[in-house]
Amino acid sequence: MIPLEDIPLPESVVETPEEEAPPPEVLGDGSGPDPIGRDPVSERAEFAIIGALLLHLDKESLRATLQQLPPLEMSDFSHPVARSLWSAAQACIERTGIVDPILLQDELKRRGETTPSMLFDIVQCAAYGIPCNAAEYARDILEASVVREATKRLGVAQGERHAEALEQQITEVMTEVLQRAHIATLTPQTKEEIIRRIYQRWENQRRGELFGLPTGLPVLDRFIGGLGNITVLAARPGMGKSSLARQIACFVARSRPVTYLGLEEDPDDVMFRAACSLAGESYDNCRRNPLPPLRMDEILQPFQEKLLIDFLKPRPATVEMAASAIRLAAYKGTKLVIVDHLGLLGGRHQREDDYAFTSRCMNALTVAAGDGACTLLVVHQLNRDCEKRSDKRPILSDLRDSGKVEQDAAVVLFVYREAYYNEDANDTIAEVIVAKNRNGATGSVEVGWDGPRMRFGVIPPPNAAPEDRRRWDGD
């Protein structure tokens, strides 16, 4: 795709010096300059998409291009002239099914608007191969529009005096504005497209790939066939559920974009924990004793060059903000979103009990992930019921607060370590219990556990040397 920066704006669109600038009323719809400031890249996309429409010579090819575009409105265009041209072009298409420079000129005259002098400059811009990239440019326009709208609305919100009112308004603004961002991912699903994707999955399986996203633990991947579209990972505090979530995130991020919504810690702490674990270093040791510069570079190097991962912390950490963050991440191309953990989401309504609130949280996250067609891994806690039994291995009813969590999940995984309760047990072995598997069997698998480095892997043989215990899956 040709970068937007390489596409010149039409000469009549290039900004003139301030003292020579025409008065606002002669620009397009007369709205004048954008009070928030204009984005040159967005403007190039705006004129590029209009040029793409003008280059279609028949109705069929134009209709095919329009079906690939996210729904754009006149208000999504920042440049006044582009707004006027887009509106006129849409009117031509509705009336005749096609648009070309002559029809567009006639429509502008019919509206009583002077034809912009740069009309044929736009056609010249389209010679840079814009038609085949129209969908990408349309998404750039929509993204810039979302940012502008959020900035305008939040500019008003900043005038609020009370912190609670400000937080509530920010939440409402971001939820409302970001709802539009995920529309770009919703395209018509034909039977032929679905069949093609099924065949593609089958071909991938023949090449040894999993049906779902891999966890990086071969014994677990063979058992469940990869993560389900909605996977819940739960355990009692201190079992290592967040460590496993970070490890899965880093493994998937080698080849696919991942977004990690950490609600418990700041993003820099989450990343440093993941980096230490990945490099085979003790996080506790790294916190207390500064590492040599070269070793520090080695630890962080994967996150600088190889791993496609973003660590985020929604502020405020409400369920609405988390759902909007999932939609925005999916819109950006994320394939896996991890929420750590469900119990830390805020935004509870008045008189809403724990059960109802957890159900609403799970429903909001599930819908957001489904809209964005991305895999969702939700980290959750267990209640204390499992600790009252002689066999402390968790079961589905131990999920805290809501049966909705169990209901929505395709896969439910529990992390269990016998050494957590029995000091005589082997502290290098953990179990991952598959309590629910919508697509297969349930049961449990044993994996290795390296406590100081907070990572899971293969079970080391009894006579393994200390250095061999650092050879973990995903290294």
Mean per-residue pLDDT over the chain, rounded: 77
For the chain, what's the residue count? 475
Q: What pLDDT, on a 0 to 100 scale, did the predictor assign at position 461?
A: 63
Note the pLDDT tens digit of each residue in 221-270: 989 988 988 999 999 988 999 999 999 999 999 889 999 988 888 888 88
Residues 89-119 as b/e (b if ≥16 CB within 10 A, e otherwise) read: bbbbbeeeebbbeebbeebbeeeebeebebb
Query: For every residue of the chain, which 3-state class applies, written as one string?
Result: CCCHHHCCCCCCCCCCCHHHCCCHHHCCCCCCCCCCCCCHHHHHHHHHHHHHHHCCCCHHHHHHHHHCCCCCCHHHCCCHHHHHHHHHHHHHHHHHCCCCHHHHHHHHHHCCCCCCCCHHHHHHHHHHCCHHHHHHHHHHHHHHHHHHHHHHHHHHHCCCCCHHHHHHHHHHHHHHHHCCHHHHHCCCCCHHHHHHHHHHHHHHHHCCCCCCCCCCCHHHHHHHCCCCCEEEEEECCCCCHHHHHHHHHHHHCCCCCEEEEECCCCHHHHHHHHHHHHHCCCHHHHHHCCCCHHHHHHHHHHHHHCCCEEEECCCCCEHHHHHHHHHHHHHCCCCEEEEECHHHCECCCCCCCHHHHHHHHHHHHHHHHHHHCCEEEEEEEECHHHHHCCCCCCCHHHECCCHHHHHHCCEEEEEECHHHCCCCCCCCEEEEEEEEECCCCCEEEEEEEECCCCEEECCCCCCCCHHHHHCCCCC
Has residue 50 got a pLDDT over 90? Answer: no
pTM greater than the 0.85 cutoff: no
For the segment 52-67, the average pLDDT, to the nearest whole number, is 78
For 320-378, what is each residue's pLDDT tens digit? 888 878 887 887 788 999 998 888 888 888 788 888 888 888 888 888 888 778 899 99
Query: Which residue is listed with tokens 């009692």?
Result: 236
* Of the listed ranges 37-51, 73-87, 384-398, the one predicted with least confidence: 37-51
